[in-house]
Structure 1
Amino acid sequence: MDLDSVDIALLDALQRDGQATAQDLGARLNLSPSQAGRRRQRLEAAGIIEGYRAALAPERLGLAVQAFVQVQLSRHGAEQAREFARLLDTRAEITSAWTMTGEADYLLRVWCRDLQALNRLIHEDLLANPLVARVHSQIVMNQPKADSPLPIE
């Protein structure tokens, strides 16, 4: 789908404020609310806009420890990947996961209440799994740049 400058401006505005109404978007983009609404619907139908989410404050929810955990599997194959994906789905603390090139097979983003909870996740869930050969964790001290909008052009 070809995006024009108005589509790009609309996507940028929605990344910054997913609750913007058609009226808000129209005012920002010099469009009527109905034109802004139709453009948003077209971008949603095309799958460019996947959905809308609320940004939550982890510390207000009692989540004091964020970590990135690299996981190296002991065996590789389609069945092992499916089995590890099932493990990922059972742990709410694992908020995102990526398959990687290099030494680690997976990179996990994890949120836990405290260091003891992180330790339990690593030792009782990850390292206890026979698929997992090695785990390397890094605790986040600070996030000087928050997750930001995608660069769209």
Structure 2
Amino acid sequence: MVELDNVDRGILHELQLDARNRTAQEIADKVDVSASTVRNRIAELEADGIIEGYHPKLDYERASLPLQVLFVCSAPPTERSEIVEQILDIRGVVDVRETLTGRRNLYVEAVGTGTADTVRITDAMHNLGLSIESSEILRQRRVQPFNHFFFTDPYSGKDNDQDE
């Protein structure tokens, strides 16, 4: 584990808000350091594996992939990691989440144009030995940046957990 200070935490928060459109100077102004410090810290955070990459958020429906499906699957725990890599090779699979224990230990998100894609993906997962416990059509996904890197708000000095 890498020990993060408030500068690292501030940089991570700002990158989560909008990494593509935030300049080093804008981040520096928020966390009260120089732009070169921000660039150096980002390089260190990347080298330490804390920042794993920068990914665009896609609107699959606008990209002519109107069907988003969440498959909840069970895989043998001893084979799960190998199976995850094979699942990612299935055309249309965009996300795989692995849980630690029990049944229903893989959550697979896939996109496609219709029923034929869903059937193809389902068949491919069955061929890998997965048991599909449920499949749900997704309507919308909302995410937000983790904003609890600071124990205190650097701008007000108040604890994040304090009531207004």
Q: Structure 2-normalised TM-score?
A: 0.74
In 1: Cα distance, 2:11 partner to 2:74 partner: 41
User: Structure 1 59/7 Cα, relative in aligned 2: closer, same or farther at 3 Å?
Assistant: same
Encode CA deviations 1:99-122: one digit per residue, 9 max, x unaligned.
Answer: 333332422111222233213321
In structure 2, the CA distance between the partners of 1:43 and 1:105, relative to structure 1 (3 Å rule), is closer
**Residue type matched to 1:54 in 2?**
P
| 1:137-152 equivalent positions in 2, closer than 5 A | 137-143=135-141, 146-152=142-148
Provide the identity percentage. Answer: 25
Note the 1:67-106 alignment, pairs <5 A.
67-73=69-75, 76=76, 78=78, 80-81=79-80, 84-100=83-99, 101-106=101-106
Q: 1:37 to 1:137 in 2, by over 3 A?
A: same
Instruction: Return 5+ residue gaps in structure 2 as ranges.
Output: 150-164
In the TM superposition, what whole-angstrom CA distance separates every residue of 1:3-47 from its partner, at most 9, and x where no partner exists? 222221111001112122212222222322112212222222222
Which aligned pairs between 1:14-93 and structure 2 lie closer than 5 A?
Answer: 14-19=15-20, 20-73=22-75, 76=76, 78=78, 80-81=79-80, 84-93=83-92
Summarize the Cα distance change of 1:30–1:86 in structure 2 as closer, same or farther, 3 Å threshold. closer
Give the Å deviation of 1:56.
2.1
TM-score by length of 1: 0.78
Between the aligned partners of 1:141 and 1:25, the Cα distance in structure 2 is 34
Local SS of the residue matching 2:50: coil
Contact 1:96/1:109 (<8 A) preserved: yes
Q: 1:40 to 1:83 in 2, by over 3 A?
A: closer
Aligned length: 146
User: Runs of at least 4 residues of structure 1 off by over 4 A?
Assistant: none
RMSD across aligned C-alpha pairs, in angstroms? 2.3
- Consecutive unaligned residues of structure 1, counting only runs of 5 or more, are none
